[in-house]
Amino acid sequence: MLFDPKRLLLIAGPCSLENEAVCRSVAEGLVKLGKKHRELNIVFKGSFDKANRTSLGGRGTGLKEGLRLLALIKREYGFPVLTDIHERPQCAPVAKVVDVLQIPAFLCRQTDLLLAAAKTGAVVNVKKGQFLSPQEMEFVVGKLKQGRATEIWQTERGTTFGYQNLVVDMRSFAQMKALGYPAIFDATHSVQLPGAGGGKSSGRREFVAPLAKAALGAGADGLFIETHPDPDKAISDGPNMVPLAELPALIATCVAVWKAARS
């Protein structure tokens, strides 16, 4: 299994796979984190296509170049890698390169996509839709189980709350873990303000740290954190990404909270 209950899972990387320079910069930062915190189980993430964006811009590199970059990170830095898939035909070719196939929140009920992802034998990380209660994840993971997924992860990324806002119910982690699979907290997408940035999502990255610590205190098994050397120049989700230079201090605090919660 890729998930290790004795270590804190950290899924981290840029939102979109912009270019090799950004990917290498982030990977180098994650290598340093891994050396400092042996408790971390790090998975590099990056999306070759952000197909669920508000507008057409900032979607990423596309499939071929995205897989090249992910293969490079896996080969040269030794990290398992994760990326989003959006259509059934993407599952098999992507699973030949990546370790974790991620089902975007808006697609978490798409039965054929879930079954195709499960069939590959890769780990499947499914994000809980903004429109679902934690209890309804029973049926999502049930489809993956029926598809004989080898390993299933669940990720909380906030629930729609009024217009252009999300809220995180900390009870979700206990309820989702009760289904028998790890529950991860997406600390950066949960602080999004969907569609509030003039045709794109805005965000409040200052709330990443308190929510991440609260989630770990509530029993989350891991964190999903998007990070970038210069988020304000990123092609997608800049307002809610954590600047790479600030990630070490955030992770140090999160590791301490994770240890305290487990004790």
Three-class SS of 155-195: EECCEECCCCCEECCCCHHHHHHCCCCCEEEECCHHHEECC
- pTM given for the model: 0.95
Q: What is the pLDDT of residue 58?
A: 62
Confidence (pLDDT) at 60: 79
How far apart are the C-alpha atoms of 178 and 63, rounded to whole Å? 35
User: Looking at residue 237, what is its pLDDT?
Assistant: 85
How crowded is residue 161: how many other Cβ atoms within 10 Å of its Cβ? 12
Average pLDDT of the residues in 173-185:
98
**What pLDDT score was predicted for residue 120?**
98
pLDDT value, residue 197:
61
Residue 57: per-residue pLDDT: 61
Q: Which domains does the chain have, with CATH numbers?
A: 8-262 (3.20.20.70)
